[in-house]
Amino acid sequence: MNEVHEHIVLMPESSSKQVRYGPHFEDVQRVGQPTNLTVQAGSSIHLNCRISLLQDKTVSWVRRNVQGENALDLLTVGLHTYTGDKRYKMEFQYPHNWRLKITNVKKDDEASYECQISTHPPRVIQINLHVNAPKVMIVDEFGDPLQEKYYEIDSTLQLSCMVRNVAMSSSVVFWKHGEDVLNYDVTRGGVSVKTELMDDGANSTLFIAKINKSDSGNYSCSINEYQNYTIMVHILNGESFAELHHGSANSWYSANYQLLLINLILLIKLILCWPIINDR
């Protein structure tokens, strides 16, 4: 296996003869000049690496993590993939393109990618990959993220979802109650969704009229299976918030009291048995 080389990006050779008759990158302007590429999280991409006159040399792709220790990860050597991440794959495109495919791009894939030719010193082109990760949050009237919300029975439930850093031309905002997609999987009336699309996201509001106890539970806003946000909705039937929290506190104290009582009984048994154990 070819070793991963630590190096700086190689500048273009001064000798045109070396470039023409040795292995070289077809995109000469990319040599010594890193390319910046910005993609959307969840998309699939190809990183191109076109090489002429490769002869007996080998092409490798490595990833340099720009965060932390700046470590190198070997991804591919020749046509073989060496990473355990199945989203990475060498997809050679005839006749000269040693392109690296990354499916379902994640924020963690943000790094510097290097295509290396195994010359001495190695020849390299570099691609700096930036990933726009969508932000999805259910927020209050001040734009702060929510974890739970309380409503009185027979009132109107209203939840606001904020989506950012995504082109909504290819995305849709979905609302779910538990596993039911609202407006699709529900039979009750009074459910409506109002969504305002913007250049870099959307604002979506869910309305449910005359709610009852069955409307309590988890509500989620999502644009795909990877970007979602969930809160817990409580429906009160005459209880006050204080009573609800007082009931939760009583349950906590009751459980802890039972645990304390069990430990006390065990301790008493141990004390009573101690003389017998010593006599033996």
Same domain? For 191 and 117 the reply is no
Q: Would 6 be classed as within a structural domain?
A: no
Q: Would 86 be classed as within a structural domain?
A: yes
Q: Which string of b and e fits 128-139 if b means at least 16 CB within 10 Å?
A: ebebbbbebbbb
Q: Would 158 be classed as within a structural domain?
A: yes
Name the phi and psi angles at 164, rounded to 5. -135, 160
Same domain? For 190 and 112 the reply is no
Query: Which long-range contacts does 90-96 make (Cβ < 8 Å, 24+ apart)?
Result: 90/61, 91/46, 96/26, 96/50, 96/51, 96/52, 96/54
Domain limit, last residue, from 132, 165, 195:
132
Same domain? For 146 and 184 the reply is yes
pLDDT band, very low/low/confident/very high, at 241 (cuts 50, 70, 90): low
Task: Give the pLDDT confidence of 87-102 residue by residue, as tens digits.
Answer: 999 999 999 999 999 9
**Within the chain, what is the greatest distance between any pair of CA atoms?**
97
Tell me the sheet residues that pair with 37: 129
Q: Would 173 be classed as within a structural domain?
A: yes
pTM of the predicted model as reported, rounded to 2 decimal places: 0.60
Q: Is the CB of residue 200 less than 8 Å from the CB of residue 109?
A: no
- pLDDT of the residue at 32: 81
Same domain? For 87 and 155 the reply is no
Read off the CATH number of the domain in which 80 is found.
2.60.40.10
Give 76 or 255, the one with higher predicted confidence: 76
Q: Is the CB of residue 217 less than 8 Å from the CB of residue 159?
A: no
Same domain? For 152 and 167 the reply is yes
Q: Would 40 be classed as within a structural domain?
A: yes
Q: Would 264 be classed as within a structural domain?
A: no
Same domain? For 121 and 140 the reply is no
Same domain? For 111 and 126 the reply is yes
pLDDT value at 43 more than 60 = yes
Q: Would 60 be classed as within a structural domain?
A: yes
Name the phi and psi angles at 268, rounded to 5. -65, -45
Same domain? For 127 and 140 the reply is no
Same domain? For 141 and 106 the reply is no
How many structural domains comprise the chain? 2
Residue 142's domain comprises 135-243
Same domain? For 158 and 65 the reply is no
Same domain? For 140 and 234 the reply is yes
Same domain? For 160 and 116 the reply is no
Burial-class residue 100 by CB neighbours within 10 Å (0-12, 13-18, 19+).
buried
Task: Give the pLDDT confidence of 122-179 residue by residue, as tens digits.
Answer: 999 999 999 988 899 999 989 999 999 999 999 999 999 999 988 777 678 999 999 9
Q: Would 120 be classed as within a structural domain?
A: yes
